[in-house]
Amino acid sequence: MKKLLLLVVAVVAMQLSAQDLAHYKKIVKELSSARYQGRGYAEDGANKAGKWIAKEFAKVGADEVVCQPFKLDINTFPGKMDVRIDGKKLVPGVDFTLREFNPGIKGEFNLYYIDTLNYSVEKVFADLATPQYEGAFVVCDFMFTYKHIDDFKKLQSKKDCSCSGFIYTWEAPLKFYKAYGETVKEKPIIWVTPDFPKDAKSIKVDIENEFLKDYECFNVIAKVEGLRHDSCYVFTAHYDHLGKLGKKTYYPGAHDNASGTAAIITLAAHYARNKPEFDMYFIAFSGEDANLRGSEWYVNNPLAPLGQIKYLFNLDMIADNNPEQYCEVSDEGMSGFALFENINAENGYFKALDRNELAENSDHYPFAARKVPCIFFMNEHGDAFKYYHTVHDTWENAIFVNYEPTFKLIKEFIDKY
């Protein structure tokens, strides 16, 4: 009879695990679909996704769901996105991308190539002052500009140089960012792949930007009540992404970070089915790709005192297959890291937990800076990582093998902590 009972429990557990995985995949597919246009700020993509997430939290049984509004300034590119080199049209997101702070620009311009082998900043400025190259676009390798950053800052200033913009070659696939999109700079920077022609004569551009001032976003916060209310666990993931690059191109963000958002929703579903000892908060942040604006807002306006957080788990990009789990741990969170390692060693969820120094690039950091015990999980350098911040981060390229071990590692930690 005892063996039969254990068998029934095991079968039920397997069924629930399969159910969680199916639900997880469904959420990733939904959030990375064209419906949300890359979950950015143009066409209200992020907010549309946030409203869907709020409904999903309610559907899985959360006791309370709150949308916490905040505002940001952000540059977007929802309009014309036409770039032609010597008459050849380039494909947005594939052949070229933009810096997030770019202004709109329209016109045809000569190209001026930086001579990196015989570089002389004085000669560059002198050449760009001649009738042939006045108002030209400057072409250079991005890493070279980085080495000569002070020179290129002057070139980027309208006061110091009359050039109209820049074309920087960078490794493929090209990545797009939003972190510095809170302002619009004087001149555009276009990133292109290394196969950009070495002897092109002209560029014709028609790029439109739309700067959104005081754009209202919101964090989605779900609560599952526990038996005790004096302490809580917090699960976080950002649901916003990069949005659009022109009218037709969008960044799906399946791995980054529909994968983490889906995980905290399925964790909410699990604890709604299995009443926890402590209150559980599940926070889907907006504004992460715009310099952690959502999590920064939350830590200054928390729904529960930060001092009550027993532990916080931030999940960002977990749809990959690297057998080692990248993680960052706050100083206060180190009290629990040995337990994570023991659980992982006992169950073989990952080959190793690869702990790194804290970085200011995901939503755990504002909590860590305020002495909250927390850990950040990100599965990087697997087969899906090469699509990070590219138009190829699609549902079809997502990998789901590390969802279940991440889920189990967190669940067992909470059971034993």
Residue 6: pLDDT above 90? no
| Least confident interval from 3-12, 135-144, 341-350, 400-409 | 3-12
Q: What is the pTM of this model?
A: 0.94
Separation of alpha carbons 398 and 387, rounded Å: 9
Which residue in this structure is represented by tokens 């010597």?
Answer: 86
For residue 104, with 0-12 CB atoms within 10 Å meaning exposed, 13-18 middle and 19 or more buried, which class applies? middle
Mean pLDDT of 162-178: 96
Per-residue model confidence (pLDDT) at position 20: 86
Calculate the alpha carbon distances from 311 to 243, 330, 360, 386, 411 in Å.
31, 10, 19, 31, 12
Name, in order, each residue with C-beta under 8 angstroms of 302's C-beta and a sequence gap of 6 or more: none
Calculate the alpha carbon distances from 43 to 79, 232, 244, 395 in Å.
11, 36, 9, 21
DSSP letter string, 286-350? SSSTTTSHHHHHHHHS-SS-GGGEEEEEEE----S--SEEEEEE-TTTHHHHHHHHHHHHHHTSS
| Banded model confidence at residue 10, pLDDT cuts 50, 70, 90 | very low
Q: Are the beta carbons of 151 and 121 closer than 8 angstroms?
A: yes
Which residue in this structure is represented by tokens 């729904």?
Answer: 303
**pLDDT tens-place string over residues 319-374:** 899 999 999 999 999 999 999 999 999 999 999 999 999 999 999 999 999 999 99
- Secondary structure letter of residue 276 according to DSSP: -
Per-residue model confidence (pLDDT) at position 18: 67
What are 411-417's contacts with CB under 8 Å, separation 24+?
411/267, 411/270, 412/343, 412/347, 413/311, 413/336, 413/339, 413/340, 413/343, 414/233, 414/276, 414/311, 416/339, 416/343, 417/310, 417/311, 417/336, 417/339
Per-residue model confidence (pLDDT) at position 115: 96
- Domain boundaries, given as residue ranges, for the chain: 20-72+214-416, 81-207
Q: Are the beta carbons of 97 and 167 closer than 8 angstroms?
A: no
Per-residue model confidence (pLDDT) at position 19: 67
**pLDDT tens-place string over residues 297-327:** 999 999 999 999 999 999 999 989 999 999 9
The fold for domain 20-72+214-416 equals Aminopeptidase (3.40.630)
Q: Are the beta carbons of 252 and 389 closer than 8 angstroms?
A: no
CATH 3.50.30 for domain 81-207, yes or no, is yes
Per-residue model confidence (pLDDT) at position 7: 45
| Banded model confidence at residue 17, pLDDT cuts 50, 70, 90 | low
Which residue in this structure is represented by tokens 């009879």?
Answer: 1
For residue 266, give the nearest of 11, 28, 6 by alpha carbon: 28
Residue 5: pLDDT above 70? no
Residue 11: pLDDT above 70? no
Name, in order, each residue with C-beta under 8 angstroms of 257's C-beta and a sequence gap of 6 or more: 237, 238, 239, 241, 288, 315, 316, 317
Bond before 373 cis per omega within 30 degrees: no
- Secondary structure letter of residue 92 according to DSSP: B
Mean pLDDT of 46-69: 98
For residue 377, give the nearest of 239, 259, 241, 233 by alpha carbon: 259
